[in-house]
Structure 1
Amino acid sequence: MKDASRLPYWPRAMSEDMAAAYAGGISVTTLRREVAEGRAPRPHHISGRRVVWFIEELDAWLDQIKGGNANKPSEVKQTPNSWAAAAAAATGKSRGQRRSPLR
């Protein structure tokens, strides 16, 4: 999203690029990294391939950063999502497993 500052309001459920813009104008890549490292709230699948971030969870994450707790895991309730499952399936790993260095 190029110019999110012109929005009259922020919707309750945001697309990935809008969520990144809402979170201080960070890049989508940074948002994805923060989600992968467990610091940012995970997206929710609301129908089919539609993935959204809820404004309340983004607000809680930003408040946590403002409070100086940026390195602590998010207190927002995380729900399982298909991104983590797809990443695990693509790499042949399940959560918490590491690939052998001998491969």
Structure 2
Amino acid sequence: MEEPTARELAARYLASFSGSRRALTLYSTVEDHGWCYTFGWNTLRYIETGDIEDAMTPGTGPIVVVKSTGDVWMLSSAPSFDLQLAEYAKEHAITT
């Protein structure tokens, strides 16, 4: 799967959490982990202003899109992102 398709899937997933009172959006950057992409995100207001008062609170992590399946899910803030990705890959027999 190419990055633009993965970005579209991640944006749709994020839209399910977004609302008129707190619009959410993806950062323009992406991390390619070989078998998946991860997309950071925050409130649209924070991206526009850079003001920490407009940022999401801790507890959520990037959105993951699995290249081979199109599965989409969100990392949590703990354990580490690398550990969560490794556990997912192991559970789904994905070679990293």
- With normalisation by structure 1, the TM-score equals 0.28
Task: Name the structure where strand makes up a greater proportion of residues.
Answer: 2
**TM-score (normalised: structure 2):** 0.29
In terms of fraction of residues, the more helix-rich structure is 1
